[in-house]
Each structure stands twice: as structure tokens, then as C-alpha cells.
Amino acid sequence: MAKRDIPEINAGSMADIAFLLLIFFLVTTTMEKDTAYIRYIPQKLEDVPPPPEIENRNIFEIKANSANQLMIRGEIIENPDDISERVLEFYRMNEKLTASQTQAYIQNSSYKGIDFPFYSRVTMQGIDDEINRNTDELERAEADDDENLITFYTKVLKDWDKKKAALKTLGGRELVEIHPQAHVRIVVQQQTEYKLFAKIHSEIQEALIELRDEAAQEYFDDTYSKMTKRLDQDKDDKKGDRKKVAALEVLFPERIIEVKPN
Amino acid sequence: MSKFRKENKKGAPGVNTSSLPDIVFMLLFFFMVATTTKESDPTVEVKRPEGVSATDLTPYKQRSEIDFLYIGQPRNKARAADFKLGHALFLDNVAQPQPGELYSTNSIAQWKLDKMNQKPSNMNEPISNVITCIKADQGVPTILIFDIREALQNINALKIAYAVEDKSAI
């Protein structure tokens, strides 16, 4: 009985197998990203001024009750997926009207878009006039040392500066903007599930992105989503996206009021 | 004759594996650069709701302009009754509310301010621009979200984010 050598197993191909596995998992895994809807809480005011009168046509009210049922502008909605279409309708109904049409329809109660916000048009001259007027007001407030008015006019001036920048970026003679009071209002009850609340935000976001994407296509031959993504990756803003994104946000502002349930 | 035999006697030459570590390190570095770490494991159960077109928060995380707070049912079911509406809050780096203290949004303000102090020195954003991301479970009653909002409003931390699982096609 001669002692036999046990042949060694060739492990050279082990690495190949390991890499094959590694690459398979590399390709198939998706890294979970944190995604969210960014929103702003209104600043806290010490003495709250009486809320301004807002016309119904400028309010897009979404109500959700404790049983997770939905109501949009007084109409019961079965499917929450319909919200985005309704938001789009809210923004688009009167968007394409010319200045003279707006003039004519705004008084005409039989016009189908009477319950939707109207758009106004401002020229560069108009914006400059507003800036000058508000600067004067701000100076007067500073002279009177009225804290509230100073905050107010500073904010108003900031808005007009944004509009000026937007009109410059978009080009053209006039800036078309939705009524400054037009907004989406979310009214929930205490027990409304967060799932539905998030769904409402999702639908609003979907509609806003669609509006901005479309405008971006028209003005810049690009999409809003791509521009924001590029901005995230490139802080130096080499392609000049920041101005464009700001302009699109002036065209279709995200104005959402979330009402605290009581 | 003998010349050939000599060469045949040898087995297959071993594979040179000296460059293997290089490759492994390359992969390691890739993962190191591409991953962002989770702050901590929450003690509450959170199943995020679904949504579309949500904003990717990765850039904010990289700039540490974001803090996360969790709200959901406590993993320890026995304690559920101690909290308002059965849902507890989880704030990282903060002692959890004791059963006697119950669910309380009072701790949010202190937590947020502590977080601000811990930010790296190159983060210059004011508190009103630092996002507070609310990771809430699907079943959380919305009133709790508004409680959180109110607590944040009081300290002027005005930028918030509602976390969702993004279901839009990529």
C-alpha cells in the first residue's frame, strides 16, 4: 500500500466565482434613497393681522376627514389619484387667456372658468414701478420704525425682485403670473391617516412638476426635473440652471397652506 | 526527448493574485464614497407611505443640512399606551421620553437646537434653512404631524420634509 498524494484542488478560479457573485449583487441592489416633499412652515407672528379676504376662485381646497374620505372644492372624490388632474385644471383653466379676454371674462358669471384663478400680466416697466413704489413704502416704514411693516415690505420687494429676474430669464415682453392669492389649501382632521396626507402632497407635487416641466420645455427646451437634479449635483451651477429654476418657480409657485385640525 | 519530458512534469502555473487586493480596495472605496450612513436605528416602527416625484435628499445629507425625526408605533408594544394616540416620537441622540413623561413634542425644540450646535463648522445655513425631515408611519394621525410643526415653528425651524417612498418610475 503505497501512500498516495491527495491532489490539491486548484483554487485559482475561486476569485472568478466570487467576483461573479459580487458583480451580480452590485447590479441587482438598489440603494435606498431618502426621498421627501420639502415644505415650509409659515413664520410665527406675534400679533396676527386679520386674514385678507380671499375670493373662492383662488382657493383650491382639499379636505380629508377622519375616515380618510376626500373632498375637493366641495365635491366628494373617490380616487385620490384624481387630485393631480384637478390641480392641473386649477392652474391651467385661465392661463392661456389674453389680457382682453381676462378683462371680459372676470365679470362674466356664465364663463366656465369663472371659479378658477385668473392670470395677470406685468411688463418690465410695471415691475420697476412696483419696486420703486415699495422701496418708498419701506423707507417710510423705516422712518416710522414700524417693525411689522418693515418685514412686510422687505418681503414684498423680494418677491418683485424675483419676478424681475424671472422675466429677464424667460425673455418676452410680459410676465404671466397666476393671481398672487391663488393657493392650495389642505384641511385635515385629527385622525386623518398620514398615508392620505402624504398622498395629497404627492399629487400636488406631481401636478406642479408637470406644469413646470411643460413650461421648461417651452422656454428652455429642457425639463424642470432635469435642471433641479443637475443643480443638486453641481453647486457651482455651470449650466446656469439656478436662474431658470427660479423663473419656473415664479411662473408656477408652490403655495400650500396646511390647516391645523382642531 | 528528455527536454520535452522535463517541461511536462510541471503542473499548471498558479494564478498571480497579487493584484486582487487592488481590485478589492477599488470596490471598497466605491462603496465608501457612495454610501450615506443612517443616523441611528429608530425604536419606533416606520413604514413610509408611497408617493411620486419626491425630492431626493442625498445632497442635503451630504451637506448636513437635514435632521431626521421618526414617528410611529413603538417597537415595544407594551409601551404603546404611554404615548399620545399610541404613536411615539424618536429623536436620535436624545434620551427617550419616560413612561411618566409620555409623548411630548416639548423635546423637539431642544433636540433641534442641540443638533444645530453639533453641525460641522462649514455648515453656515441659518436654522430656518435646515430641513427637519419627518419620517412618519403610514398610520400616524395627522394631528401629530401638526404638533411637530408647531414645535418647530416656535424655534423658527421652518423648512420641513415629509418622507415618502418614491414610487415614480426611474
3-state SS of A145-208 is: CCHHHHHHHHHHHHHHHHHHHHHHHHCCCEEEEECCCCEEEEEECCCCEHHHHHHHHHHHHHHH
Please report, for chain A, the start and end positions of each structural domain, with discontinuous segments joined by +.
Answer: 119-173
List the pLDDT tens digit at each of the 170 positions of chain B: 555 555 555 677 776 777 777 887 788 788 777 766 665 677 788 888 888 888 888 888 888 888 888 888 888 777 777 777 778 888 876 655 555 455 567 788 888 888 888 888 887 888 888 999 999 998 888 888 898 898 899 888 899 999 998 887 65
Distance from CA of A37 to the nearest CA of B (A): 5
pLDDT at A258 exceeding the cut of 60 = yes
Q: Is A191's CB within 8 Å of B162's CB?
A: no
All residues at 6 or more sequence positions from A253 whose CB lies less than 8 Å from its CB, including other chains = A178
Give the three-class secondary structure for A251: helix
- Euclidean distance between the first and the last CA atom of chain B, given in angstroms as a whole number: 67
Average pLDDT over residues A235-250: 81
Q: Is B162's CB within 8 Å of A37's CB?
A: yes
Q: Work out the percent of chain A whose per-residue pLDDT is above 90.
A: 2
Contacts of A262 in chain B (CB under 8 A): none
Out of A116-120, A149-153, A156-160, B133-137, the most confident range is B133-137
Contacts of A229 in chain B (CB under 8 A): 56
pLDDT digits (tens, 9 = 90+) for A65-106: 888 888 888 888 888 888 888 888 888 888 777 777 777 777
Element (H, E) at B69: strand B66-74
What local confidence, expressed as pLDDT, does residue B162 receive?
A: 92
Out of A74-83, A144-153, A175-184, B152-161, the most confident range is B152-161
What local confidence, expressed as pLDDT, does residue A243 receive?
A: 84
Question: Which band of pLDDT confidence, cut at 50, 70 and 90, is reported for residue A1?
Answer: low
What local confidence, expressed as pLDDT, does residue B4 receive?
A: 59
Number of H helices and number of E strands within chain B? 5, 7
Rounded (10°) angle between helices A194-220 and A241-251: 120
Q: In what order do the strands lie in the sheet with A256-259?
A: A75-77, A70-72, A59-64, A183-188, A256-259
Q: Is A44's CB within 8 Å of B154's CB?
A: yes
- The pTM (predicted TM-score) of the whole model is 0.79
Task: Using CA coordinates, name the residue in chain A closest to B146.
Answer: A260
Distance from CA of A92 to the nearest CA of B (A): 20
Q: Hey, of A34, A186, A234, A260, which one would you mutate to test binding to chain B, going by the most B CBs within 10 A of its CB?
A: A34
Identify which of A19, A42, A198 has the shortest CB distance to residue B164. Answer: A198
Average pLDDT over residues A222-248: 81
pLDDT digits (tens, 9 = 90+) for A194-229: 999 999 999 999 898 888 888 888 888 888 888 888
ipTM (interface predicted TM): 0.77
What local confidence, expressed as pLDDT, does residue B100 receive?
A: 46
